Amino acid sequence: GGRVAGQAQFDPLNWFTSLFQYKGSAIHIFPILLVNVFAVVIFLVVFYVIPWDVSRGITKHTQNDVFYLSFPLFFLLAMRVQLCYNRWWEARSLWGLTISRSRNLARLAILYLPRQDRPRFCALIVAWAVAKKRHLRDERTMLLELADVLGPCDRRDAATAKHPPLWFLDALSRYVAETEAAGGMDSQQAQNFHDQFTILEEAMCGCEKIKKTPIPFAITSFLR
């Protein structure tokens, strides 16, 4: 799940297979290989068959052609660097948002929740951040980190959840809704919590978007 229909699938870490992949590539490798073989033949003919005076004039023009052809490659490299930096900066901003909103939630819990409910609520906040990190890395080892944070019931329910970060976010939302229903806080205080939950969910969706949307394969294949 999580893949866009029609999008070329490739392993960004496997240089060799993506180089020879046909689907999704802007420029296919086999025609390029034929052109390169032809260029090698021309090179051998110019330097070893044609007389020196003639070949020297040919190579002079060839050097100028190579100079002009280097500009498209330069712009593609610059585009890739810019794309990578933009993705890194967006991810860093989203994780910074996760940190700041988690702190806001802990502050609101101290202000509005009954004293006996604060430890579990703050533990769920910590668990949500850990679950989000492990989810983005496709790891299922979060319960080892949360053994000293969550109770056995929460650990059991989170372990069976298909999307652990959403489970923790739902648990936090239900906690606030139950507290409001019991008269532990008014509607405005509860809305303050829910606003923070919405921002946390948007930050998680943004991180998932970066993870599941690689740099366009056409650019990667052409540069390789």
| DSSP-derived 3-state class of residue 27 | coil
pLDDT value of residue 194 = 92
Structure tokens at 8: 């070329």
- Residue 182 phi/psi, 5-degree rounding, is -80, 0
Q: Are 201 and 214 in contact (CB under 8 A)?
A: no
pLDDT value of residue 177 = 92
Burial code (b: 16+ CB inside 10 Å, e: under 16) for 181-208 equals eeeebeeebbebbeebbebbeebbebbb
pLDDT value of residue 183 = 87
pLDDT value of residue 211 = 86
- Tens of pLDDT along the chain (224 residues) come to 444 444 445 455 555 555 555 454 444 555 656 766 777 777 677 666 655 454 455 455 555 555 555 666 666 677 777 777 888 899 899 999 999 999 999 999 998 888 888 898 999 999 898 888 888 888 877 677 777 888 888 888 888 888 888 989 999 999 899 989 988 888 898 999 999 999 999 999 999 988 888 776 665 655 55
pLDDT value of residue 31 = 60
Distance CA 82, CA 74 (A): 12
pLDDT value of residue 138 = 84
Please name which of 105, 224, 87 lies closest in space to residue 168, comparing C-alpha atoms: 105
Question: How much helix, strand and coil, in percent to the nearest 5, is found in the chain?
Answer: 75, 0, 25
Q: What is the pTM of this model?
A: 0.63
Element (H, E) at 30: helix 29-48
pLDDT value of residue 57 = 53
Distance CA 54, CA 45 (A): 11
pLDDT value of residue 64 = 55
Please name which of 160, 94, 102 lies closest in space to residue 130, comparing C-alpha atoms: 102
